[in-house]
Amino acid sequence: MNLSSITHSCNTTVVTLRSPYLLFLGEADIDSRAKTAFGLRDWAPERCLGQLRLPACKVTLGLPDMTPAEAAARGGGSLVVGVAPKGGRIAENWIPVLRAAVDAGLDIVSGMHDSLSDVPGLAALAQARGVHLVDVRNPPTGLPTGTGRKRSGKRLLTVGTDCALGKKYTALVIANALRERGIRVDFRATGQTGIMIVGSGLPMDAVVADFSAGAAEVLSPDADADHWDIVEGQGSLFHPAYAGVTLGLLHGSQPDAIVLCHDPAITRIKSLPDFPTPSLEVAAQAYLQAGALTNPDIRLVGVSLITEKMDEATRRRTLADAEQRLGVPAFDPLKTPLQPLIDRMLAA
């Protein structure tokens, strides 16, 4: 049996989780609130057993609904907190579910800012039942401040006009496309879902601000000249709450290339509707200007758009418009080919 654990080295957080997973959706009312669960369902489906939803939940993964006891009876290994609520807090009404999971013999895996061990009585119960509490959003100690030193190898960072609009999916798809072309590549996870998917990374939004650029440097070290690191983006320069983590990641990853991610259906920042999302042109220029501090040769190589709710004609028009406006390939990572983007990346 593969026991859940989390270990730290000087540069990454390495996660080993006990599967299969029961994915906890809490009271998520829109899909983006359950992005961790959707990410695991889409990128590690063989490890996903079922879903657990509270009565007010309006989201489904299309997996069987089951209780912790039912999941354990079917061989389940861990209850994974699959939601990403604002602030990353463990809600009071989740605690009975967490206790039921431990009672059933499941490990609990969480990417919340709150620690599972701080839930009253949960750590003692887990110890008594012989199960593990795994906090993925727990950065290693001893991270350095950023240096701005140019590193060898190539890097691409996904960036966005807002949060939760495909930066992780885009990075994963690009990494797979490069592997198919025979290019040496690593996906560098910077959030809890990515870390759960690939088993290593750094939870950038839990790093103290002074060390965010240094953490990004550590995450993507020197590499061979033909090696690509595809770095998962976080936040957005245009989000009043989360621009800080974005800027630290941008400066520390020193990307040679960026892909701008955008949802054409969104005109206001999702969680802060008083703030509009920027135009593609404004966003691209802002990222290039900010990124030039640590890599003057930074390039925009593509635009990733969410088009899943569009018909084919609308999708083609939307992609063509973005290409015309920015002069780079536009694509939907789940709907359209990536060959033009990969060609653009490798052309420099």
Same domain for 111 and 195, yes or no, is no
Considering the domain architecture, whether residues 23 and 82 belong to the same structural domain is answered as yes
Residue 3 has pLDDT above 50, yes or no: no
User: What is the H or E stretch that residue 139 is in?
Assistant: none
Distance CA 12, CA 158 (A): 19
Number of domain units in the chain: 2
Task: Tell how far CA 175 is from the center of its chain.
Answer: 14
Q: Higher model confidence: residue 15 or residue 184?
A: 184
Position 192 pLDDT exceeds 70: yes
Kindly write down the DSSP assignment for every residue of 175-232, as one continuous string. Answer: HHHHHHTT--EEEE--SHHHHHHHSEE--GGGS-GGGHHHHHHHHS----TT-EEEEP
pLDDT in tens, 37-82: 999 999 999 999 999 999 999 999 999 999 999 999 999 999 999 9
State the Rg of the chain over Cα: 20
**Residues 237-281: pLDDT tens digits?**
999 999 999 999 999 999 999 999 999 999 999 889 999 999 999
Check: CB of residue 322 under 8 Å from CB of residue 280: yes
Q: Which of 208, 24, 40, 27 is nearest to 107 (CA)?
A: 24
Q: What is the pTM of this model?
A: 0.87
Angle at 31 between CA 57 and CA 193, to 5 degrees: 110
Are residues 164 and 265 both part of a single domain?
A: yes
Full domain range(s) for residue 77 = 5-135
- Residue 336 CA to residue 348 CA, distance in Å, equals 23
Residues 123 and 172 placed together within one structural domain of the fold: no
Q: Is 140 a domain residue?
A: no
Residue 145 lies in a domain: no
Establish if 147 belongs to a structural domain. Answer: no
Question: Is the pLDDT assigned to residue 96 strictly greater than 90?
Answer: yes
How far is it, in rounded angstroms, from Cα 214 to Cα 218? 6
Q: How far apart are CA 125 and CA 287, in angstroms?
A: 47
Look up the CATH number of the domain holding residue 257.
Answer: 3.40.50.300
Residue 312 lies in a domain: yes
The first and second tokens of residue 112, run together, are 């919340």
Query: Which DSSP category does 237 fall into?
Result: T
Same domain, 131 and 158: no
Residue 34 reports pLDDT greater than 80: yes
pLDDT at 196 over 60: yes
